[in-house]
Amino acid sequence: MSKRLTDQVATVFLWLAGGFILALLVWFLQYTVGQGWSQITWGFLTTPPKELDAGGGIGPELFNTFYILVLSLALSLPVGMGAGIYLAEYAKKSWLTDMIRLSTESLASVPSVVFGLFGSIIFVTTFKLGFTILGGAATLALLNLPVLVRVTEEAVKAVPFSYREAAYALGATKWQTLYRVVLPSALPGLITGINLVAGRALGESAILIFTAGLSVSQKMFDFDLLAPGETLAVHLWYIRAEGLVSDADAIANGSAAVLILVVLVFNLLVGIPSRILHKRFAGKAS
């Protein structure tokens, strides 16, 4: 088989594979959102759920989803990105740094339910917090850390060394080079990493079942860190598994549709600026 024919066959195969994945994604979105679209109303999005009566909403769960996401990112971003920058720019190659990298890669592959059990032992039992938003956010931050460390390190390492040399030649210090040259150039990759952990956190349920609980405040906006914090993903699991209301299927379909749309919109809002920044820095580099 000639090289040209091999290239054509490979191209056709890759296009077919990509088309299949795209069609599967479109079908999944159409089916999931279509099943629950009629359920999505202003009242459904803003009213609290009901345990026994039909007609409950998902207002507090929707708020908790974003509240716990913001808290977990606030706890994990400084530590995770700081560790990644240190490993990429300051740490010398040694058995200790190799062990740290191996540990973070190992932690990234640990099932979320294990983090949930760990968070339950530490925050719920040992610290006696009970099922709270604070415990859920802290445990979710632990889940985010390994991915943030590895993504940040790789994004910083991907910046060409010539950028650093040019900054040093102009008399910049190590910190000035990092702050004004390296990090802005690595920003698209850093945003992608944040997008990955945030998208995973939005759909996480196992961790929060063990730490934030299956109950929720009846207030739409309850900022109490020690209040129970059922999220949208946990509520979807609960309604499907143990829901007693007569319209459990409709609520579950509506919750699933809202969750899919939230994740999709969030990814678009973060992903589009990331691509724009990437093209801008690529253009400057060229």
| Extents of the domains making up the chain | 22-285
What is the percent of the chain where pLDDT is above 70?
95
pLDDT for residue 1: 58
Model confidence pLDDT, tens digit, residues 252-267: 899 999 999 988 888 8
Rounded Cα distance between 232 and 211, Å, is: 15
**What is 168-206 written as a DSSP string?**
HHTT--HHHHIIIIIHHHHHHHHHHHHHHHHHHHHT--H
Q: Is 21 helix (H, G, I), strand (E, B) or coil?
A: helix
**Helix, coil or strand: residue 216:** strand
What residues pair up with 229 in beta bridges, in sequence order? 216
Q: What is the pLDDT of residue 277?
A: 65
Q: What is the pLDDT of residue 79?
A: 93
With bands split at pLDDT 50, 70 and 90, how would you rate the model's confidence at 4? confident
- Range 178-197 average pLDDT: 86
Report the C-alpha gap between 56 and 267 in whole angstroms.
28
Tell me, what's the pLDDT at 267? 80
141: enclosing H helix or E strand: helix 133-157
How many residues would you count in the chain?
286
- The answer to whether 277 touches 187, Cβ cutoff 8 Å, is yes
CB proximity list for 277: less than 8 A, separation 6 or greater: 187, 188, 191
pLDDT band at 24 (very low <50, low <70, confident <90, very high): very high
Number of neighbours of residue 187 by Cβ within 10 angstroms:
17
- With cut-offs at 50, 70 and 90, classify the pLDDT of residue 70: very high
Architecture in CATH for domain 22-285: Orthogonal Bundle (1.10)
- Higher per-residue pLDDT: 286 or 170: 170
pLDDT at residue 135 tops 90: yes
Read off the pLDDT of residues 91-132 as tens digits, 9 standing for 90 and up.
Answer: 888 888 888 888 888 888 888 899 999 999 999 999 998 999
pTM of the model: 0.87
3-state secondary structure of 229: strand
Q: What's the rounded Cα separation, in Å, for the pair 166 and 162?
A: 6
pLDDT reading at 68 higher than 80: yes
pLDDT of residue 116: 92
Q: What average pLDDT is seen over the chain?
A: 87
CB 201 within 8 A of CB 144: yes
Give the residue from 86, 92, 107 showing the smallest Cα distance to 197. Answer: 107
Which tokens go with 77?
A: 């971003």
Q: What is the pLDDT of residues 151-170, one digit of tens each?
A: 999 999 988 888 888 888 88
Which class for 53: exposed (0-12), middle (13-18), buried (19 or more C-beta within 10 A)? exposed
Residues pairing with 216 in the sheet: 229
